[in-house]
Structure 1
Amino acid sequence: METNEKTQSRNRVVLFPAEQLKPGDRKLVKIDKLEIAIINVDNNLYAFRNECPHQGISMIYGPVTGTMIPSNPQEYKYGLDDQLIKCPLHGWEFDLKTGKSLFSPNKVSLITYDVRNEDNQIVLYLKRESKSISITDFHCSLICN
């Protein structure tokens, strides 16, 4: 288990066994009144507030995608595959690692949280203590793709 400055000042919350979040799976964690979406993308874990900063839409429904990247005129390049989550309502794209939007990275961000697989347990680090925790399995159908 890796301990660093980022995790030392935070509250460690053990959520569930890692086997319950396989690649492609999503879970909705409600901590007190805060909803956090946790997803596994090719064994990379991401946690973010389940609320788009634009109009508060649930981000857990958003597809994990890539996007068109800068290229020469008349050239179309796709990149950042499986590195973005897209708002399911208006299509705003956010980097899964940083939460920063692609269109205005210094002004608009999705709030992200430190989540890890530690000793085969999914662990979330928060700035505050939690009083109540509930976890809901989330099954994506066609809406998340």
Structure 2
Amino acid sequence: MSKHVVATVAEISPGQRKLVTIRGRQIAVFNLGGEFFGLFNRCPHQGGPMCEGILTGLIESSQPGEYRYSRKGEILRCPWHGWEFDIRTGQSFCDPAKISLRSYPVEVAEGQRVVQGPYVAETIPVTVEQQYVVVEL
């Protein structure tokens, strides 16, 4: 597996996302409160562009008439047909046993570590004083 520098931490604010292309693959990188997650940008249903999807939360109910909203901003809804996926895992809420979005490991690396490798800087200049978001393929 290779590692690719895709952004500085400051480029993807909490609750935001960035679409990057690595080796011809479009990957949506999400910042959930300082944690970064990478998902393939195509819905497994009919190929919808997931990076354009709505970020929502999870509505749960233990009995009729009682609802609880949780995980605000952690659920990604496909813009074409509304299929929902967990940003942290890529797991589908439509059919969790069979359907998921491919997820990619993402880490935050100190600038000095990026300069030393094994990262491939493809979209930004590398400097030592910043932190970078790194996707592993």
| TM-score of the superposed pair, with normalisation by structure 1 | 0.74
Letter in 2 for 1:96: I
Match of 1:89 among 76, 80, 85: 80
Greater strand content: 2
Q: Aligned equivalents of 2:96 and 2:134: distance in 1?
A: 27
Which runs of 4 or more aligned residues in structure 1 lie more than 4 Å from their structure 2 counterparts after TM superposition? none
Deviations 1:104-123 (A, max 9, x none): 11101011111111111111
Query: What is the aligned-residue identity percentage?
Result: 38
Match among 17, 27, 34 for residue 8 of structure 2 = 17
1:59: how far off? Answer: 0.4
Letter matched to residue 20 of structure 1: E
Worse overlay, 107-116 or 18-27 = 18-27
Structure-2 residue corresponding to 1:124: 135
Matching of residue 54 in structure 1 with residue 45 in structure 2: yes
- CA–CA distance in 2 between the matches of 1:49 and 1:83? 16
Residue-by-residue CA offset, 1:47-95 (whole Å, 9 max, x unaligned):
1000011110100011111122132122122223222111112111101
Residue 93 of structure 2 is matched in structure 1 by: 102
Aligned length: 117
Counterpart CA distance in 1 for 2:103 and 2:86 is 10
Segments of 5+ residues of structure 2 without an aligned counterpart are: 111-130
State the shift of 1:16 in Å.
2.6
Match of 2:68 among 57, 72, 77: 77
* RMSD (Å) for aligned C-alpha atoms: 1.4
